[in-house]
Structures are given as C-alpha cells and as structure tokens.
Structure 1
Amino acid sequence: MQRPQKTLRRLQLTLAMTALLSTSPTWAQEWGSYLKPFAADSLWNSRPVNPVFDNFVIPTDTYFPAVTNNTYSTGIFLASPDDPPVTVKGLTGSKGLFNTDDENYHDVTIPHWPAAARAAPGTDGHADIVDPTTGIVHSLFKLKQEGTQWTAAMYAWTKIDGRGWPEPGHYYQGARATGVPAAAGIIRTHEAAQKPEYYKHALAMSLSYSGLSPNPAYVFPATSADTYAATRNKGSIPEGSLVMLPPDFDTSRISNAEVRRIAETLKRYGAYIVDANIGTPFVIYAEIGSDANPSPSGWNNTVANELQSVRAGLRRVISAESWVDGNGNKFTPNQNLNLLSMRGNWTQQSGSVLGKFSSWDQAVVFPATSSVSEVVNYSNRGMNAVTWAKPVMGASYTLTARTTNGGKLRMSIYDQLAGKVVFDSGYLANGESKTFTWNANSPRLALYAQSGVGNSTAVGGQLLKAN
C-alpha cells in the first residue's frame, strides 16, 4: 500500500534528524552550539519559578494566531571551516548594508558561507548563519541573491555561546526588532521531528500592535523595539516581555498535538516578544522546513480555535521567585551588563597607524607598529540610551580596560550642563580599573585608545555599575 505523501515526508524528516543527532560531534549538541544555541543560563534556556502575572489579555485582531515555519520565519545554516567567504553588500539602490553595531553602512565578508544558505521567502528575508569556528551567529535582514551577489538591508551578530540577548553596549545583536537573532527561540527542525511533550526553551513570539505597549516600548532583556512603537502600539505588553500560560491552564482539552506541545512549552518556559506583526494576535516562529506547523495542509478550524484559547490564556510575567537554567541550577538574571562600546569615529592623535573599531573584536584594533600610536573618539556614541540601563546619578561605576599587546584605554566624561569634565580615568592597561561616582546630567564621552608596539593591538573596555 502506498504511504501518503505527507506521512512519508515526516518519516524522511524524522530519519534525517535522527541521523543528524547521532552523527553530530559532541560540541554540536552542547550548550552554545548549532543545535543548542546560547549558554545554559541564557533566558532562552531558562524558566521562571513561581511567576507572577499581569492581567492584560492579548486582544483578538484581524487574523487568528499562528505558528509559522515558512514565509516570515528563518532558516539556521551551519557553516563549516571549509566553506568559502562571501561578501554581503547593501541592497541595490540603497545606502549600503547597515551594520547595527557600528551604526554604519559597509560591506561585510562572512568568513564561512554555507552553500545551503537561503533567505526566508517573506519580505523580511531573514537568515542566520552559525559559524562554530568563530563562535558567531551572523544575522541578516532582507537577504537576497542578486545574480551571484548576496545583498541585504541589515547585518548584526551575536555569540553562539552567549546570552542570546544584547547588552547595553553591544545593543543590537540580531535582525529582530528587539536586537536578537531571528534564530533565537524558534522551534528547530530536529526538535519538531522528535515530537517531545514540550520544547525545552522559551519560544520566540511576535504580537500585533493591538497587544504591544507604546510606553515602555521594550523592557529587559530587550534593548530596542520597533521604530514606530510609540505611535502604533495600543496594548500593554512591551517587546522583550515574557508571556506564559498559567499553571492551571488545561492543556488536556487541546486536541491538536502540536498546539498542545506549544501550550505545554508556554506553561513551563513561555515565549519572549521579539517583534511586531500586522494583524495577527501572536505568531510563534519555527525553523523553515520544520514539522512544527499545527495545520500543514492549510486552514483548520480546530487549530485556529485552539490557538485562540492559548491567546486568551497568555499573560505577561512581571516577576518570578527565581529562575532555573538549562542545567537545573537556580540563578538570578544579571541586569548589570556592559554599558560601553568602542564604536564611533576615531581620529589620530599621534603615531604612525590609525586604530579602527572592529565590531567582532568589540575593540579598537591597531595594525602592527614600531611605535606607540594614539586615537581619540569624540563622537559620543560609546553609550546607547537603553532605557533600563541608563546611568544613575550618585551611583558608582567601574571602568575596566580590556586590551592586548600593551594597549591602554582612557575615558573622560564631560557634563554639557555643568560645562566641565567630571571624570577622567587616565590611561588604564589591560585589567586595570577605575571606580567613580556618576554625576553627569548630560554626559559627553571622549574615549582614547593607545597602541602597544610590535604586533597588532586591541583596545576595549567594560563599564559596569559598582553597587
């Protein structure tokens, strides 16, 4: 008897994923890897204990809630050391490829570009490339192949073994509105093929403007939101929020296996709001080609109604007793994150070589030189105005230099209202710190970087709250 085509496809997919898991090296199945992105204590891999919920209900909208594994989701492509480099340029007719971290337009050469890489078919054109050799997830928005040339509107990156969320200094680390890569939180192909009781990570979700908050537009752990949030949003849930189904939500009444699996995940891990959509109460994202679509054959009244019941049950988490990471350890999420970036325009003060900001190094990098060179950055782009991380007047902060080859870092803060310099760290070598009281109402930063002699030098820094 001939097996139905849909069932055959699922069987082939399951066998393929089983083969992938069995043949993948150990590193590929550990935290911070292609199959298990980000650290064990990333909020994507953690769950709250005894969460407290808001009472706002995500409203109905033009369409029914959805789970998408195609047009507006993304593929996640694994690069190998043997894959060739590819230079991505800006879209034809545009200013160029916008690099979110250095806030400039320029081409980016991805060191290893897998042949399988494809853009999502929707207008967002998402694609994320995981490169284990560099430990980087390359996240692209509106990716296109124009002839033999790859182009995109935007490029960002994050560490595959990192938090999975940006920090105030490196505030945009992916192509979603919240600064996360499109791959973060999505239901993966290998996960869906295994048909678990629930997925062991928080999910990625977008809301329509009717559910999203105009002010605040985003909350921790997000560092940004959609551009027009203040005028378009009409709801009460900021981007970056965690939404969950309460413990008493009855999943036994859900007949569709995939909807029930998602609901069980929402009871345990929840979903983070990473983006806005138009007219759909919520969208949950699954990897393109995965078997996570609860209605793969098209419209299904039962699925639509069961997703509506999930919508009606979802609530925003406003606090939790504690958190449990992917290894089962309790922890408190860290909000004291680096405030400083070395981005901006650097001009030469002395010496023979010019140091330039390298986003992948998070530092100013000088080429090899036989004498000390110094550059200065007056652009005041070293700190981004992330709302939940703004410096507090009277609080103590610690600046620490992170340099190589004898490089040195100096930072001064000029208060534009007071008309004077209120802090100057002096030159700090690698690992040296300076603690000071923040007392600038209208700060303007000046950053200085000094090279070592001989090999290339990297000069970066970290600015953290000290109390």
Structure 2
Amino acid sequence: MGEGPYSSTAFLASKYDKPVEVFGLPGKRGLWELDGEQFITSITIPRWPTRTVPAAGSDGHADIIDPVDGVIHSFLNLKKGRDGRWTASMYAWTRLDGRGWGDPSHYFQGARAAAVPPMAGLIRKHEINDGQKTYRHALAMSLTFSGLSSRTGYVFPASSADRTWRDNTGMIPEGALMMLPEDFDTASIEDRDLRKVAETLKVYGAYVVDRNHGTPFYIYVENGADFNLHKPKWNHAVDQDLKRMQKALRQVVGVKGWLDGYGRKFSPEEKLNMISMRGPWVATAGKGTAKFDTWSQSLILTGASSRSEFQHRNNRSFSGVNWAKMEGGQRYNLKLQSSEDSELQLTILGNKGNRTMFSSHWLGNGDSVEFTWPGESSRAVLSVRKRSDNGGESRVRAFVYAKDEGIINPLSKTLSR
C-alpha cells in the first residue's frame, strides 16, 4: 500500500484558475468520452489548476475537482507536451455531491476500470496524521490477475471492469467490498500507519476498483503524501503483517447495516435511472441533428423542424450494466423531461422485430406512463421529434424507474447476480 505511478492526486481548482483544452492522443481519432461512448476532438475544462501533474505510470491518472461547477474531471493517460498542449486517451466526469459510483444511465463516471474516479477511496494527504483511529471511508484497492474473477468482471456497485477480465484466474470481481473480520488482531501491528489501515479495513473495508500487475493487493495513497511503510529501510514486521492481512481479507457477502464516515447508521438504497439518451441517433425524417450531451444527460436537437424525427435502435438506451438489466414482468414508469416543443416515444418490439409489444405513444414534457417490460427477448426503439418550426435548440431527457421496487438494493444485487 502506498503512493506510486498508478495512484493519483486530487487537484483542487479555484474560481481564479483559467480554462484548459485537452485533446486526444496524437495519431488517435480523438479523446474517448466514456459516458457518451464517442470520440470527441477535445474537451475544455473551465478551471484548470496550474500545479496539475498526472501520475507517472502508463495510466497517467489525474482528477480535477471543480467546486464551482460541483464536478470531478477524470482522465486516463493525461500528458502535457513540450509545446504545452494537454492530451489524454479517455475522459469521464462525476458530480462532486453524487454517489461516487456509476449508475445504469450515467454508467462510466471515472477513469478507473470500475468506472470511478481514481481519487475515490484514496488515502488523502491530510488524513494520514489526523489523529483518527481509522480513515472515515472505504479505501480503494486493486488485485492482480490471480485474485480477480474470470466468471464476472464486476458486481454492484461497480459498473464496468477491465476489458480483458476474462484473462483473470481468481474469484473476486471488481466492485467487491473486501474487509478484515471483526476479530482480526490489529493490536499487535506495531507500525502506526499500517495499523490505521487495518482498523479501517475492519470497519469500512476497501472496494476493488482496478487490476494491478504482480501484487496480491494494493491500497492506494495520494501521491505526494510521503507514505512509505518501509522507510528508512525494509521493515520485516510490516511485511509479515501485510501477509497476515492478505490471508485474512474476505469479500463481503452479507451485512447487518452500513455506517457513514461519522459512524452513523444509514441506508445506501436509492432509485437509479435505467435509461440513457446516449447515441447513436439516426435522422429518419426532416432535417437537423440529434446529439447526446453528457453534461445534461440529454439529447440535444439542433436545426430540427416539425417534420424532423430521430431514432435510436441499438438497445444501448437501456443499461448494459449487468446488475441493472430490464426484467421481464417488472412494472416500470417512464417520464419525460424536455423542451416544450419536443416529444419522445418508446416502442418495444418482439425478438424478430415485427411485432409491437408496447408503445408509449408520444409523450411531452412532464408526461409519464407505466408499462410492463416483456418477458421474451425484445428490442427497444426510442423516437424523438419536434412539434414546431422555430429552428431553435431543444433538449430531451427520459427517466425510467422500477415501479414496484424502484430501489437498487446493494446487498441483493451483489449476492443474487
């Protein structure tokens, strides 16, 4: 556990920082915008801390926290060229006051493999000597190939995993919560820094957020924290305690309850939107364009008229997240939030595409409808159209929640899938 080239730093922006434009890597099609699943030429970060330095490893992680907009900007392979030009291979963002994890709609919210920002779960510089017995949050952990599962890439609350997860040979998926048992002996750990981590693993645990190469487990500490368990020389006692912790760590498979950072009981259950407006969208009538906007999580119609219509047919509107699939026989509620001059229709077709199993008909802003997801294999088609010829920009966003349950239960979704 410690700092390193594959850890990260959280860089705090201020209202005085100037904007910076980040481009895709040289020779690539552009910057891969993870949520929209699309290449973009560049992205402009409105407030860029001048001291931003990405991690030295090949992942090149760096997170920028913008308290003005309430956003965490997350990059993979971030680099600054000799000409001062910033480039990266991937970009994602999450709300500063959000869950920290992806949801079925906005499923990729950070540059870690588990779709979380690298700063999530970091042992931060200011926490190391704060006088507390534990860190007051779950930690971030990676496992190597022999620990990670080849049966499933991830479980709730993770919403993604390394693309080559099938090459793993272990049993533990990304997103798993790892903990030390209550009776694990921490009193015998002489090193103060290691003992604090072990105490944290007994209370809050560590989520598996990534894969490493060759280390049974690695717990990430913010770069620049001067955290080193083996200074000024190799510490044999620390080495033995780490091996003892390795043998004792277990994946959580049942809980009686949850504690927040202040030791108070709370329920992490909440409603999660099951539908996304991400593309690709195809014009089926009229003129104009329809493009997904990650910032508003909506579809933006530009230059469209009352004769314009656009469709999404490839089923990516509904979640590809493995713990959030639409379930046959389950009741759902569809609600539309849009400009007053735009409408949406959801059509569910049978597995051969020649039979309509459900049609919401055209919904306007604020309209909603209940429906039952068909039990057989089906395909969803979203259609959006304008009702006016004003030529202005219109926005469309849909929300789908389970009607009866309406709540994602982290325990049941982890254990039953």
- The TM-score normalised by the length of structure 2 is 0.89
- Hey, what does 2:394 align to over in structure 1? 457
Give a deviation string over 1:23-56, Cα, whole Å, max 9, x none. xxxxxxxxxxxxxxxxxxxxxxxxxxxxxxxxxx
Equivalent residue letter for 1:105: F
Q: Is the 8 A contact 1:239 1:274 kept in 2?
A: yes
Cα deviation digits, residues 221-260 of structure 1 (max 9, x gap): 0111111112x22222111010111111111110111100
| CA–CA distance in structure 2, aligned partners of residues 142 and 189 of structure 1 | 23
In the aligned structure 2, how far is the partner of 1:175 from the partner of 1:307?
A: 28
State yes or no: 1:168 paired with 2:132: no
The match for 2:412 is none
For structure 2, the 5+ residue unaligned runs are: 405-417
Partner-residue secondary structure (3-state), 2:6? coil
Instruction: Give 1:430 deviation, angstroms.
Output: 3.1
Secondary structure of the 1:251 match is coil
Query: 1:315, CA displacement in angstroms?
Result: 1.0
- The answer on whether the counterparts of 1:422 and 1:440 sit within 8 Å (CA) in structure 2 is no
User: SS at the partner of 1:355?
Assistant: strand
Residue equivalent to 2:121: 185
**Cα 1:146–1:405, aligned 2, differ >3 Å: closer, same or farther?**
farther
How has the CA–CA distance of structure 1 residues 102 and 440 changed in structure 2, closer, same or farther, with 3 Å as cutoff? farther
Between the aligned partners of 1:450 and 1:262, the Cα distance in structure 2 is 55
User: 2:137 touches 2:260 (CA, 8 Å); kept in 1?
Assistant: no
Cα offset for 1:329? 5.0
Assess if the C-alpha contact under 8 Å between 2:340 and 2:364 holds in 1: no
Report the CA distance shift for 1:105/1:298 in structure 2 as closer, same or farther (over 3 A).
farther
- 1:260 paired with 2:195, answer yes
Residue 89 in structure 1 maps to residue 26 in structure 2: no
Instruction: Please say if 1:310 is aligned against 2:255.
Output: no
Aligned residues: 400
Shift in Å, 1:373: 5.2
The answer to whether structure 1 residue 466 and structure 2 residue 400 are counterparts is: no
> Which stretch of the first structure deviates more once superposed, 190-199 or 439-448?
439-448
Give 1:448 shift: 2.4
For the residue of structure 2 that corresponds to 1:215, the secondary structure is coil
Q: Per residue, is there more helix in 1 or in 2? A: 1
Q: Secondary structure at the match of 1:194?
A: coil
Selected match of 2:229 from 294, 302, 307? 294
Provide the secondary structure at the position in 1 that maps to 2:4. coil
1:329–1:466 Cα change, 3 Å: farther
* Contact persistence 2:62–2:76 (CA under 8 A): yes
1:109-142 CA distances to partner (integer Å, 9 max, x unpaired)?
2222111111101111000111122221111001
TM-aligned CA deviation for residue 374 of structure 1: 4.1
- With a CA cutoff of 8 Å and minimum separation of 6, indicate the structure with the bigger relative contact order: 1
- Displacement of 1:93 in angstroms is 1.9
CA contact (8 A) 1:142 1:153 kept: yes
Cα distance change of structure 1 residues 122 and 394 upon mapping to structure 2, 3 Å threshold: same
Given candidates 78, 84, 90, the residue that maps to 2:12 is 78
In the alignment, the residues of structure 1 paired with residue 386 and residue 293 of structure 2 have an alpha-carbon distance, to the nearest angstrom, of 15
Give me the identity figure in percent: 44
Deviation at 1:328, TM superposition (A): 5.2
Task: Tell whether 2:358 aligns with 1:410.
Answer: no
The change in CA–CA distance for 1:372 and 1:184 in structure 2 (over 3 A counts) is farther
CA gap 1:195/1:327 in 2 versus in 1, 3 angstroms: closer
Distance 1:119 1:391, change over 3 A: same
Instruction: Give matches, 1:115-264, under 5 Å.
Output: 115-147=50-82, 148-230=84-166, 232-264=167-199
- Asked if the contact 1:398–1:464 (Cα under 8 Å) also holds between the matched residues in 2, the reply is yes
CA contact (8 A) 1:242 1:316 kept: yes
Correspondence for 1:277: 212
The structure-2 alpha-carbon separation of the partners of 1:372 and 1:331, relative to structure 1 and needing over 3 Å to count, comes to: farther
Q: TM-score w.r.t. structure 1 length? A: 0.80
Selected match of 2:35 from 94, 98, 101? 101
Deviation of 1:197 after TM superposition, in Å, equals 1.4
Structure 1, unaligned runs of 5 or more: 1-66
Alpha-carbon contact 2:318-2:326 (below 8 Å) kept: no
Q: Which amino acid aligns with 2:128?
A: A
Matches within 5 A, 1:373-412: 374-412=309-347
Matches within 5 A, 1:430-445: 430-439=365-374, 441-445=376-380
Q: C-alpha separation between the residues in 2 aligned to 1:298 and 1:93?
A: 44
Q: 1:211 to 1:146 in 2, by over 3 A?
A: same
The alpha-carbon deviation at position 354 of structure 1 amounts to: 2.6
In 2, Cα distance between equivalents of 1:335 and 1:100: 24
C-alpha spacing 1:307/1:355, structure 2 compared with 1 (3 Å): same
The residue that corresponds to 1:113 in the other structure is 48
Tell me whether 284-293 or 204-213 shows the greater mean CA deviation.
284-293
1:8 maps to none
Q: Aligned letter for 2:377?
A: S
